[in-house]
Every structure is written in structure tokens, then in C-alpha cells.
Structure 1
Amino acid sequence: MMKLLAAVDRFSLAFGKLVSYLVWIGIVIVVLEVVLRYVFNAPTVWGPGYTQRIFGAYFVLIGAYTLLQGGHVRVDLLLNTRSPRWNAFLDFLNYAVLMVWMLALVYEGWSYFQESWEFSEVDDSALGHPLWPVKLALLLGVTGMLVQGAVELLRSLVGMVDPAALPPKRQEVQP
């Protein structure tokens, strides 16, 4: 089982690193838009919309990586003050609540994506961009967080039973 958990960790790590390149694409578009607007007085119609889409996709697609790295906001008042089993129990509760929330988001995300795809939904910009890629990014992002959250839930369950079976807290999981 631990090999499966490690495989999901490796996937979340690799996918997160791949998605991180979206930031650079977004930066290039922003710089291009600024130069075209202020140097040549010729802004693009598509620049602002694409930067919103790119940074929005980045924000949701990087969620599983952030969860793996422990980068989401946590209230640590009760954590790290007691035994490892107690900390694992609190982690278990946190991840159980996360699972309920992620299941709801995956369910709704699928509905949003499916409707957008079926009806060829477009945004209200002058170019009428399709909205299904944005909704697909949302679906993929929350699905990734659901899977990584399930791994963390199982890991906390193992920590409640046998804290010594878990590796020490990781800074970054290596492939």
C-alpha cells in the first residue's frame, strides 16, 4: 500500500512541477500585453482573457502539489503539541472533512464541465472563447486534490496505528 501512496505522491509532484510552467507562460503574455499597450499603443483583445485563464488554471491545478508539500493554510493550534498518534488523529479529521468537500467539488465540477462541453458554452468576450477548458481545469484540479487528500487520509490512518511506520515529514518528495 505504501508503494501506491508513494506513486500518487510522485505523480502529484511531477504534475505540480509541470503545471508551474503555466506561470511563465502567463508572465510572457502579461509582458507582451504591457509592451503592446504602452509602447505601441496596440493592446490585444485576447491578452487579458488568456492571462486570467492561465493563472486560474494554475491556481486549481497546483492544489494536489500544494497539499503534498503541506502548503495549504492550516490551524496548528492543536497540532504538533501532543503525541504523534494525536497529531495523526487530527490530520485524519482534517483530511476526512477535506474528502467530503473535494467529493462535492468533483461532482459539481463534472456537471459544470459536462454542460459547458455539451452546449458549446463560450464566454462573453469579443472572441467568444470556449469555457470548457476552464471547467476541465477545475475538474482536474479538484480531482487531483481528492486523490492526494485520500493518500494523506490513509497516511494519517497509518500514523494513528503505528507512527513509526511513516517516514519523517518530507520537505519535498523525490521521484
Structure 2
Amino acid sequence: MSILFGKVASYFIWIVIVLVVWEVISRYLLNAPTVWTQGYVQRFFAAYFILIGAYTLVRNSHVRVDLVLGTSSPRWNAFTDLLNYSLLFIWAAALCWEGWEYFFDAWRFNELDSGALRHPMWPVKLSLVIGMGLMALQAAAEIIRAIVLIINPKKEVPRVVST
């Protein structure tokens, strides 16, 4: 699921690029800036940023500090991963839980942004719920992987990653 959502969300960046190019052309070449582009760019980039997190985690592409990990044993590395991913799970689950309340209120009360076009706010808040839910699930998978490596540091625990 993390890979699927990550790949779908990765196309949001192309939408952002098209919108920004359109705004530059309309503003500087046509002398007719838009009032809607900024809001859509913010929403698509926010959704992209939130939804791509679990994909980045499954690809092991988040920034890590290897000062401690580079010189340690595999069991110690797995233990620090267990601590880190446990904290990540708690953080992501809490954001997912609270995000649901924000999403539900925005949807129920038809919350609109303060911009000129008054866009609905629930889609971005829903992306927070989905993205943090995926991040919590991926953190749980990493916790299981770390526990297996603590028990048996020589065990090869493959990552299921498609390109």
C-alpha cells in the first residue's frame, strides 16, 4: 500500500509543476495572473508531501544519522531502529487519530479556506489521515523487521520494493 500510494502521489509534483508554469506564463507573458493557482499548488504539494512519507520509509530513503549506526553491530542497529520506529509509530498514529477529527469537522461543517475561491479544506485534511495511517502501518512493519533482526541478526529480512 505504501508503494502504491507513493507512486500515485508522486504524480502530484507534475501537477504542481504544470500549475506553476501556467502561473508564470499567465503572469509575466499574458499579464493576467490567476487567483486560484497558489491555492491549488499549496494543496497538491501538501498532499504530495504527506502521502509520499510511507513510500520514502519503505524505500529506506529518509535521512539517517549514521555516526552511531555505521560502527555498531547489526543487533545494536536493529535495537535503535526498534526505538526509532516505535516513536515514529506513536507519532504517526497520533497524527492520524487527530487528523481524523480535523478531517471530519472540515467535511461535516464544509470548512472553506480564506482564499478568494473558498476551496474546501477536507481533501487536504483527508490526505493527512491517509498519509499518517500509511506511515503508522509502515512503521509497524519496520518494528517487526527490527524485532526479527534483534532476535537473529544474521537473518536476511528482505524489503518488498518494486521500482
TM-score tier (shorter): over 0.9
Q: Structure 1, unaligned stretches of length 5 or more? A: 1-10
Question: Any idea what the Cα deviations from partners look like across 1:106-156, whole Å, max 9, x if unmatched?
Answer: 111111101111110000011110000010011111111101111001100
State yes or no: 1:173 paired with 2:155: no
The answer on whether the counterparts of 2:145 and 2:157 sit within 8 Å (CA) in structure 1 is: no
User: C-alpha separation between the residues in 2 aligned to 1:110 and 1:166?
Assistant: 37
TM-score (norm 2): 0.93
**Number of equivalenced pairs:** 163
State yes or no: 1:23 paired with 2:13: yes
CA-CA distance at 1:72 after TM superposition: 2.0
CA-CA distance at 1:17 after TM superposition: 1.6
Secondary structure in structure 2 of the residue aligned to 1:126: coil
User: C-alpha separation between the residues in 2 aligned to 1:29 and 1:116?
Assistant: 25
Which of 31, 41, 50 is matched with 2:31 structurally? 41
- Structure 2 partner of 1:151: 141
State yes or no: 1:116 paired with 2:106: yes
Q: Structure 2, unaligned stretches of length 5 or more? A: none
RMSD: 1.5
TM-score (norm 1): 0.87
Identical pairs, percent: 55
For 1:71-86, what aligned pairs fall within 5 Å after superposition? 71-86=61-76
Which residue identity lines up with residue 108 of structure 2 in the other structure?
E
Which residue identity lines up with residue 31 of structure 2 in the other structure?
N
The answer on whether the counterparts of 1:158 and 1:166 sit within 8 Å (CA) in structure 2 is: no
The answer on whether the counterparts of 2:50 and 2:128 sit within 8 Å (CA) in structure 1 is: yes
Moved over 3 A (4+): none
CA-CA distance at 1:102 after TM superposition: 1.2
CA-CA distance at 1:164 after TM superposition: 2.8
State yes or no: 1:138 paired with 2:135: no
Which of 83, 86, 104 is matched with 1:93 structurally? 83
